[in-house]
Structure 1
Amino acid sequence: MTYMDEYAIILKSKSDYTKLNKLVHDMLHIDPARPETCVALAALWERKDERKALTYAEKSLRVDDRHITGYIMKGNLHLLLNRPDLAVTDFRGAQELRADLRSYQGLVRAYLALSKCKDALFTAREAMKVMHQSAKALKLVGDVHAISSSGREKARKFYESAIRLEPGFLGAALALADLHVAEGRNKDAVLLLERYLRQWADDSLHIKLAQVFAATNVLSDALSHYQSALRINPHNEAAKKGLERLEKQMKGVDPDAPEEDEENEADDVDGDQDDPELL
């Protein structure tokens, strides 16, 4: 049972809910009272009901108030529920037990949500000092700088440093691609991502390429990459949602329009001016 809650979180991140559901079922059969089981239940419920997921995360800490994964899960759920102030307390609780990169990442996200950019930068720099030669800590500092247009050049340097330190770190490559797009360097973003695709068949790379192509109205290439992402990981929710948006774009429908507006647009196209409800 030890670390099975960590495995549950990995399955959730991969959107593999079939395996996650089976894992939780097995854990409940072995020992429903373990904190790992409670965290796994929180991971399972997060997609359906964030508040119910939170009750399981809280239960894991009532069972064992030194269970770090429980604090991490609780903090992330508070962020999803738009309670960054409570998330700060959760991630600090995890840090008091052990300096975990995820607690630093969570704290940075919480501080940024609270518009406490100085606290976020201080926390990211602390992570870089504690986790010497960590590419993920370097990226975290870059993430804080990337929030403002004036900090993008510094962010780029941190992302590039992270990639030099760990060439296979896809998170830094994706962040650097986002930075390229934000500054209008779409070709640079595509070249970077395609270079990584030659070495790693990863669904997240295909999704990012699809997003870049969709943003620049190269819809056929965007479609191809979303389809590639789903072939690699049929459970990927981001790919499914991105594909839905793209299909609307390809039909000439605004993907950000409310559903009612889309229905009205469809009515207008059909020319239903004689509909009595419209007169």
Structure 2
Amino acid sequence: MSLRTVARDDLKNAARSYVVLGVVGVFAALVALVFVSERNIYPDPYRTLFDVSFMTFLVFPLFVAPLSYLAVAGDRESGVVKYVLGLPNSRLSYVLGKFASRASVTLGAVVVALLVGFVVALATFENAPNLGRFATFAGVSALYGVSLTGLFVGVSAATRRRSRAMLGVFGAYFLLVPFWFGFLPIVNIGTVLDAVATTFGTTVTESTRSFVNALSPATAYLYATEPVYSGVTDQYPQLAGTFGGESSRIEAQLWFNVLTMAAWGALGLLAGYASFRRSELG
């Protein structure tokens, strides 16, 4: 069996899963709901894309998680992995095949959701949606989703049990999204930085704090959506407040945010494979 065969077989099984169909359908419904609810609030669909991006960075990982956490751990607990690896197939092609199939589902969810949003915007908004802005938004969102898929499949590959994989994946979500973004007022990345700085008798500069905040794939995703609003950031205060800052900062550069998202997915998958390669499957 090759990487392609593993991915094809896994994708066929995923296509028959109610979980997969539910994830794609519910995410598309949520995106459509955002557009429907704002059709009489903003004349421009790109302003609604801004709100969709915040929903995506916070909620979408929770849709990617059930698509990914059982990718390898589920097969290991059931014993299926011993049969698959008993065929002419390497552990690397197995893990990459699992990632490819789950990433395909993630991409499908993004494409379907944005197509639904585009149709709703075309039918209900005062100004017609810009296809280029929607395509750019879909591309950045797809990269974010694939990055999370790589990270979560890596967690799955590093664990033997379904329960541990689930805890690992949702722990990673908690760390990289609510904790890192600062949703928790008492314990977050900012308070950790302050505690470390106090220990060493120093302070954390705003530039350092901003750079560390940008190292989360979720924050990088939000920054990476800036090209979607090229030329129109002054039309709405929320856009100007988010993307109207100093553009020379490294965390404001598109290449840096794309690299950050890609790095989380690639390194997470690599770490998971390294653990899986050394583990006993019996």
With a CA cutoff of 8 Å and minimum separation of 6, indicate the structure with the bigger relative contact order. 2
Asked if these proteins are the same fold (TM beyond 0.5), I'd say no
| TM-score range relative to shorter protein | under 0.3
TM-score where L is the length of structure 1:
0.23
TM-score where L is the length of structure 2:
0.23
